[in-house]
Chain A
Amino acid sequence: MKRDDKAVRYDPFEIEQREWKQRQTKERLKQMLTIASPLFLLLMWELLSRTGMIDIRFFPPPSAIVSTFFGMISSGEMAGHIGVSLYRILVGFLLGVIPGVVIGLLMGLYTPIRHFVSPIVMALMPIPTLALLPIIIILFGIGDLSKVITIAGSVFFPVVINTAAGVINIDSIYLDVAKNYGASKLDFFTKIAFPGAMPVMLEGIQMGQAIALLTIVAAEMMGATSGIGYLIWVSYKAFLLQEMYVGLILISFFGYLFSLLLRGIQKKMLPWR
């Protein structure tokens, strides 16, 4: 075959580079869409609300909500509500996670404990802690303690179940390795059971975090005198919907923030994944 010397010689890297650039553009477009979607929602809301297409009394424009938010901050009432809620979430979360992890590990490691505890856990789990709120208030009063207990109760279950499952589902070959190399009970726990259960356990803690936020709002609606949930409830009752929306958006913001935080911790703690 005759070779055509005049034919354009393509540089393979040039072609690949062009395709790489195209892929990059596509990636950027996807990122743009992710950022644009909430902005789009807010913009639509603003527009529809301002033009009166949706009832401004129920859906005040986001710009009005933002200015209400800054007003509440400068008056100093906001910091108090946020601080109290965060404190309750944090303490309640820890009070749920720590026993959840400990009992979960015990259930995973010792079969008799598992068989004894798991029916109790299974029976109690379906009861919403919020339904127990009246009794919790009777027992622990209307102060911080009752909120903290309610959150702890809700966080405990996903953590305990995931931790136990994390230990049980460790591939049996690692148990064989530990036994073959003569691991003591303590070494087995620190080198095999705990790190092996960690991924599933952290998933449970992530779930617990989401539940803690859901719970705090509801817990603060009943028998509370401060907090973001209280703010939402009181504003609603007084028909101050802008203030109510401020509360809702705060919850959404903290939920997102905590998720990111826990994901970051997860990445740090599981470098081997």
Chain B
Amino acid sequence: MSRKAKIIIRNLTKAFYKKQGSVTALDDINVTINDGEFVCIVGPSGCGKSTLLRILAGLETPSIGEFTIAIATDGENRPLQSMVFQERGIIPWLTVEKNVAFGLKMRHLPKKFIKERTAYYLKKTGLEKFSSLYPKELSGGMKQRVSIARAFANDPEILLMDEPFAALDEQNKFILQEELLSIWSETGKTILFITHSIDEALLLSDRILLMSSQPGKIIREIIVEMPRPRKIEDIRENPAMAGQFVEIWKHLQEEVQRSRREDE
């Protein structure tokens, strides 16, 4: 199946200059992500995966290289990307409803439209009852739902997710992963998702990009063939998936040990 390319990253390099010694966070990254694809980036901590996402999110600029996000030709005026931040990224002085409406309000869309779209995603994420509460009254899982609803309500060309479930307990994580997959299959959005959890990557993605650290490079690409809908127990039972798990695990292990040796 050949689909249109949605995100094209070409020769992207990011270095951080410091007096005590500069670091190459990303080294010559070349990636193409197709329209509607769910791609996870997995790598050891400090491999620059967050930096890559922040560059795509417009929060950092690349040192060299470029990326493009293709615009859909359906005539809708969408923002290029929206980011699902980690749990503390929801704004404490705005109610749940206003948090979800944040992106739409920043774009100054008609009030009625904002209200409808916000209500739709509040319902979709089970937040209806909590719409007038402030984030301090929510559990971690609920907060993360707000963050997801905010990004989807903004209806961007692509979604960027920065370890959104890292702080959640296992049960909540499973529930939210399923909810995310259901919204994704309904909206057909392209998602670039960062995680350090191999299970999460195998459960969610069409394709996994493995990164090495210092300099951050994409060293391997793993296609997850398992049909959807997937369940975590299927992944555990499926021998092919178990093989992929071990493959990724070994890679991470090697990377961590290599960077430790280099530090010494």
> Is B58 at the interface (CB under 8 A from chain A)?
yes
The answer to whether B135 and A272 touch across the interface, beta carbons within 8 angstroms, is yes
> Which residues of the other chain, A, contact B241 by a CB distance below 8 angstroms?
none
8 A Cβ contacts from B120-140 to A: 134-136
> Is B107 at the interface (CB under 8 A from chain A)?
yes
Closest A-chain residue to B98, C-beta based? A191
- Residue among A177, A191, A198 with the most chain B CB within 10 A? A177
> Which residues of the other chain, A, contact B86 by a CB distance below 8 angstroms?
173
CB within 8 A of A181: which of B93, B134, B136, B154?
Answer: B154
Give 14 A-B contacts (CB < 8 Å), ordered by A residue: A173-B85, A173-B89, A174-B91, A177-B83, A177-B91, A179-B59, A180-B81, A181-B79, A181-B82, A181-B154, A187-B105, A195-B93, A272-B135, A272-B136
> Which residues of the other chain, A, contact B93 by a CB distance below 8 angstroms?
195-196, 198, 270, 272
How big is the B interface, by class?
A: 20 to 34
Give the CA-CA distance A176 to B102 in the complex, in Å. Answer: 13
The answer to whether B91 and A192 touch across the interface, beta carbons within 8 angstroms, is yes
Closest A-chain residue to B81, C-beta based? A180
Closest B-chain residue to A196, C-beta based? B93
How big is the A interface, by class?
A: 20 to 34
> 1/0 per residue A176-198: CB within 8 Å of B?
11111111100100011001101
8 A Cβ contacts from B90-119 to A: 91-94, 102-103, 105-107
Question: Chain B residues in contact with chain A, CB under 8 A?
Answer: 57-59, 79, 81-83, 85-86, 88-89, 91-94, 102-103, 105-107, 134-136, 150, 154
Closest B-chain residue to A176, C-beta based? B59
> Which residues of the other chain, B, contact A196 by a CB distance below 8 angstroms?
93
Closest B-chain residue to A178, C-beta based? B106
The answer to whether B89 and A182 touch across the interface, beta carbons within 8 angstroms, is no
Closest A-chain residue to B133, C-beta based? A272
Q: How far is the CB of B69 from chain A (nearest CB, A)?
A: 14
> Is A112 at the interface (CB under 8 A from chain B)?
no
> 1/0 per residue A200-214: CB within 8 Å of B?
000000000000000
CB within 8 A of B134: which of A184, A187, A272?
Answer: A272
Give the CA-CA distance A180 to B79 in the complex, in Å. Answer: 10
CB within 8 A of A184: which of B57, B81, B106, B154?
Answer: B106
> Is A273 at the interface (CB under 8 A from chain B)?
yes
CB within 8 A of B59: which of A180, A195, A270, A273?
Answer: A180
Q: How far is the CB of A238 from chain B (nearest CB, A)?
A: 54
Q: How far is the CB of A178 from chain B (nearest CB, A)?
A: 8
Q: How far is the CB of B103 from chain A (nearest CB, A)?
A: 4
The answer to whether A181 and B106 touch across the interface, beta carbons within 8 angstroms, is yes
> Which residues of the other chain, B, contact A180 by a CB distance below 8 angstroms?
57-59, 81-83, 85
CB within 8 A of A182: which of B106, B135, B136, B150?
Answer: B106
Give the CA-CA distance A173 to B136 in the complex, in Å. Answer: 16
